[in-house]
Amino acid sequence: MKIVAGNSNRALAEQISKYLDVPLAKCQVRRFADQEIYVEIQENVRGEDVFVIQPTSYPANDHLMELLIIIDALRRSSARRITAVVPYFGYARQDRKSAPRTPISAKLVSNLITNAGADRVLTLDLHAAQIQGFFDIPTDNLYGAPVMTRDIKEHYDTTNVMVVSPDVGGVVRARALAKRIEAPLSIVDKRRDKPGESEVMNIIGDVSGYDCILVDDIVDSGGTLCNAADALLAAGAKSVTAYITHGVLSGGAVARVSASKLKELVITDSIEPTAAVQAAPNIRTISIAPLMGEAINRTSQERSVSSLFD
């Protein structure tokens, strides 16, 4: 097995490498003067099972191109099998035609990864489950719920926890977590007038006296979470914490969350936390390295990964 890391989340790649006790392969990823990407695999990978760890987070286009070029370099170096490990799959929010004459970018990106030469894809908490079917190669979509469940049980009395979906679209994800910790479920009904803005309308379910846990796959601007926290507290919730897989946290999101009524925002390290995220008083990061590392190990050994969903 060989593990190759791009520049997107070097810290996560190093943690996965440590978990597997496999050193990162020597690989140079740098820029020409005009910012074109240059990749050189600096050790023999002929006949090897290679895993490329590269979330396509900000700047998404740069990191996506890095991934594609690394895959191409490995294919031309005669790697036996190439698995694209993409903990955060960018462009996943464009998974259907939401209006006339708009792209389905998630399908385009999946085609690019396949055509670059990837044999498999390993990802985490896709924004829309159907994206798994956009790939014409084997694709494993892991879930962050087991990692979150362990953390919730360590920090909360689950007999007084209410799992809350921040919108109707996230009910399936929230219900799955609620089932794991045997907690009731509530839903925030919101109406979004334009991208990046949301207005909370009402709460479906009685949250009075509960420690509410908001669950979602992506936090970007943070507006939805902060509005939901306000609405839940106004409805009598004891406290509001958010567990989100991918902490995109663009623009002024970190400042917005820090100033909000959220007790805590817990994110995974699928996207490398910025200095602002690390300094925020109410944002905490939990690691998915053991989960991803075990999935890589089982994939390499041709063993089942489905037990990791439990």
Model confidence over 128-178: pLDDT tens digits?
A: 889 999 999 999 999 999 999 999 999 998 899 999 999 888 899 999 999
Q: Is position 94 annotated in a ligand binding site? A: yes
Q: Is position 132 annotated in a ligand binding site? A: no
Q: Is 194 a catalytic residue?
A: no
Claim to verify: residue 119 and residue 211 sit in the same structural domain:
no
Exposed / middle / buried, residue 119 (Cβ in 10 Å: 0-12, 13-18, 19+): middle
**Residue 287 has what pLDDT?**
96
**Residue 189 has what pLDDT?**
86
Q: Is position 192 annotated in a ligand binding site? A: yes
Contact 39, 66 (CB under 8 A): yes
Q: Is position 54 annotated in a ligand binding site? A: no
Q: If you average pLDDT over every residue of the chain, what do you get?
A: 93
Claim to verify: residue 116 and residue 214 sit in the same structural domain:
no
Exposed / middle / buried, residue 58 (Cβ in 10 Å: 0-12, 13-18, 19+): middle
Give pLDDT tens digits for 215-257: 999 999 998 899 899 999 999 999 999 999 999 999 899 999 9
CATH at residue 258: 3.40.50.2020
Claim to verify: residue 121 and residue 167 sit in the same structural domain:
no
Claim to verify: residue 205 and residue 129 sit in the same structural domain:
no
Claim to verify: residue 203 and residue 103 sit in the same structural domain:
no
Claim to verify: residue 137 and residue 167 sit in the same structural domain:
no
Claim to verify: residue 135 and residue 24 sit in the same structural domain:
yes
Q: Is position 189 annotated in a ligand binding site? A: no
Claim to verify: residue 163 and residue 121 sit in the same structural domain:
no
Domains contained in the chain, number: 2
**Residue 229 has what pLDDT?**
93
Q: String of b and e for 242-275 (b: at least 16 CB within 10 Å)?
A: bbbbbbbbeeebbebbbebebbbbbbbbbbbbee
Claim to verify: residue 265 and residue 185 sit in the same structural domain:
yes
Claim to verify: residue 138 and residue 149 sit in the same structural domain:
no
Give pLDDT tens digits for 255-289: 999 999 999 999 999 999 999 999 999 999 999 99
Claim to verify: residue 226 and residue 264 sit in the same structural domain:
yes
Contact 308, 295 (CB under 8 A): yes
Q: Which amino acid is at 112?
A: L
Q: Is position 224 annotated in a ligand binding site? A: yes
How many residues in total does the chain contain? 310
Domain holding 109, by residue range, is 2-143+290-309
Q: Give, in degrees to the nearest 5, the angle at Cα 273 between 230 and 103.
A: 80
Claim to verify: residue 175 and residue 215 sit in the same structural domain:
yes
Q: Is position 36 annotated in a ligand binding site? A: yes
**Residue 198 has what pLDDT?**
54
Give pLDDT tens digits for 185-201: 999 987 666 655 556 66
Q: Which of 97, 107, 153, 190 is catalytic?
A: 190
Give pLDDT tens digits for 57-97: 999 999 999 999 999 999 999 999 999 999 999 999 999 99
| DSSP code of residue 26 | P
* Cα 129 → chain centroid: 13
